[in-house]
Amino acid sequence: SQLAASGDSDSIKVFVRVRPLTQGTGLTTDGDQSLCLTVTSPNTIRLLSKPEPRTFTYDHVADMDTSQDSVFSSVAKNIVESCMNGYNGTIFAYGQTGSGKTFTMLGPSELDNFTDELRGVIPRSFEYLFFLINREVERSAQSKSFLCKCSFIEIYNEQIYDLLDTASASLFLRENIKKGVFVEGAVEKFVNSAAGAYQVLSMGWRNRRVASTSMNRESSRSHAVFTMTLESKESINDVVNIRMSQLNLVDLAGSERQKDTHTEGSRLKEASSINRSLMCLGQVIMALVDVSNGKNRHICYRDSKLTFLLRDSLGGNAKTYIIANVHPGSKCFGETLSTLQFAQRAKLIKNKAVINEDTQGNVR
């Protein structure tokens, strides 16, 4: 709680994890024994690029032998604690397909077995959260109570689907003056234990896979957002104090699929000859306008659904960790480079300026 209260200025932290080389998994990277990177210190990684190797610095870099428990301790522990104190917290997993995102977040496969040493960040977070809840309830001699709700949605092609209710059509993002941004009509399940939360998660996760076969959607092409809303109620001398916070666990689409402007660098957008319109001209213009700060402007292009939903997690009063998973094999060089670059840029994401320039209060 000390950490949460201190004004630590980096609202976004980045953790890079290098997975071990694959063996017999059927991936194309199997049997590739040459490495394209080395971990040079607990927060630097050297990519063996040509002509010069490049060094990247992050909040934490975990080498192949890092245990699941130590990932949890560095990434999720503080975030879960912050949630108990009323902060919103978000953990993103990012990386190319096969780089170990699911392993890091869930564990080796969808285990229902809670004691497994290899269980991932998510089950451990649930355990820790409910451990803290129970401790608080006990300590407060029942004057404090907690309410936990979970929802699980998937964003595919800028459409939102409810993983807890596969029968529903695509949903809309709305905003409410009291509730903030929310997915209209998304199912919310009450849970009162880590096991309960995990059950909701695995149910949704299964739906995600079902959806990928029946509708020809690949899971790695969608973003999945599991949200746990925590409400605490404390009564002291008839005064009821209510606090709300959210814990978002986000599995981003495989980075090799992401074709948004933020990851593409200097590639030109093409206009195929059959295409009547030059779809992306707007993005080019948008970039021109964005550079010229200070003046009042409106950009007609909406945020992506994911950034809009998690707007509160990108700066402001939220704690955010990005876990960037990379594969060390030299065949993955290109993807690894782009993941590392993305992770570095992520540090620069901040919510827009707090106060408009012209109301900064000049002396009169």
Partner 1 sequence: MASLGSDEWRAVCDKFSNAQNLTDVESRKDPENEPFRSKYKARELLREIYSSLKCFAAGDGEEERDGGEEDVFGQGVSGDSPAGLRAAKLGAVEYYLGVNHVDTEELSAGREHLMNGTKLLERCRVSSDNVSLFIHVRNQLGILWAGLDETETAQGFLETAESIYQRYMKEDGTPPTDMTEYFTTEEKLLTHQERTKRFELAYTHTMYYLAQVYKNLGQNERAATYCHSTLQRQLKLNQFSPMEWALNAATLSQYYITKGHYMEGRHCLSAATVISGLAGEVPSEAAAQESETESERREQLRQKRADIARCWIKYCLNLLQDAKKLLEDNIGELDTDRQEELKGARRREEEEEEKGRKNALLFGSEDTFDSIASLEEKVSCLIPLDFTAARAVFLVGQNYVTQAKDYFQMDGFVTDHIEILQDHSALFRALAFFEEDLERRCKMHKRRVDMLEPICNDLNTQYYLMIRRQLMFELAESYSEMMDLKLTLANRQADTQSLDSHTIKKFNHLCSASTKFFQMFLDSLCSPEGKFPEHLEEEVLRPALVARFRVARLHNRLISSTPSDQLDNLNKSLESYKYVVQYCEAHPEAAVVVETELELSKEMVGLLPLKINRLKARMATNN
What is the x/- site pattern for partner 1, positions 217-236, by CB under 8 A?
-x------------------
Q: How far is the CB of 273 from partner 1 (least distance, A)?
A: 7
* Ramachandran angles phi, psi of 184, nearest 5°: -65, 125
Q: Examine residue 210 and tell whether it contacts partner 1 (CB under 8 A).
A: no
Which residue in the set 63, 136, 188, 312 belongs to the binding site for partner 1 (CB under 8 A)? 312
Q: Examine residue 167 and tell whether it contacts partner 1 (CB under 8 A).
A: no
Q: Examine residue 352 and tell whether it contacts partner 1 (CB under 8 A).
A: yes
Which residue in the set 46, 243, 257, 347 belongs to the binding site for partner 1 (CB under 8 A)? 243
Q: Examine residue 281 and tell whether it contacts partner 1 (CB under 8 A).
A: yes
Which residue in the set 25, 176, 214, 237 belongs to the binding site for partner 1 (CB under 8 A)? 176
Q: How far is the CB of 69 from partner 1 (least distance, A)?
A: 28
Task: List the beta strands (DSSP E) in the chain.
Answer: 12-18, 37-41, 44-47, 54-57, 60-62, 88-95, 144-156, 159-162, 173-176, 180-183, 189-191, 223-236, 239-251, 318-326
Q: Examine residue 274 and tell whether it contacts partner 1 (CB under 8 A).
A: yes
Q: Which stretch binds partner 1 (CB under 8 A): 97-105, 150-158, 195-203, 281-289?
A: 281-289
CA dist 279 → 271, 303, 307 (Å) = 8, 16, 21
Strands across the sheet with 54-57, in order? 37-41, 44-47, 54-57
**Residue 104: count of CB within 10 angstroms of its CB:** 26
Q: Examine residue 50 and tell whether it contacts partner 1 (CB under 8 A).
A: no
Which residue in the set 286, 341, 344, 347 belongs to the binding site for partner 1 (CB under 8 A)? 286
- Residues in 5-24 that interact with partner 1 by CB under 8 A: 5-7, 9
Q: How far is the CB of 76 from partner 1 (least distance, A)?
A: 20
d(CA 243, CA 283): 40
DSSP line for 206-265: HHHHHHHHHT---GGGSEEEEEEEEEEEEEETTEEEEEEEEEEEEEPPPGGG--SHHHHT
Q: Examine residue 259 and tell whether it contacts partner 1 (CB under 8 A).
A: no
Contact between 327 and 335 (Cβ < 8 Å): yes
Q: How far is the CB of 196 from partner 1 (least distance, A)?
A: 25
Place of tokens 């295409």: 275
d(CA 334, CA 328): 11
Which residue in the set 135, 244, 260, 262 belongs to the binding site for partner 1 (CB under 8 A)? 244
Q: Examine residue 261 and tell whether it contacts partner 1 (CB under 8 A).
A: no
Q: Examine residue 3 and tell whether it contacts partner 1 (CB under 8 A).
A: no
Q: Examine residue 284 and tell whether it contacts partner 1 (CB under 8 A).
A: yes
Q: Examine residue 271 and tell whether it contacts partner 1 (CB under 8 A).
A: yes
Q: Is the torsion defined by CA of 337, 324, 105, 118 positive or negative?
A: positive
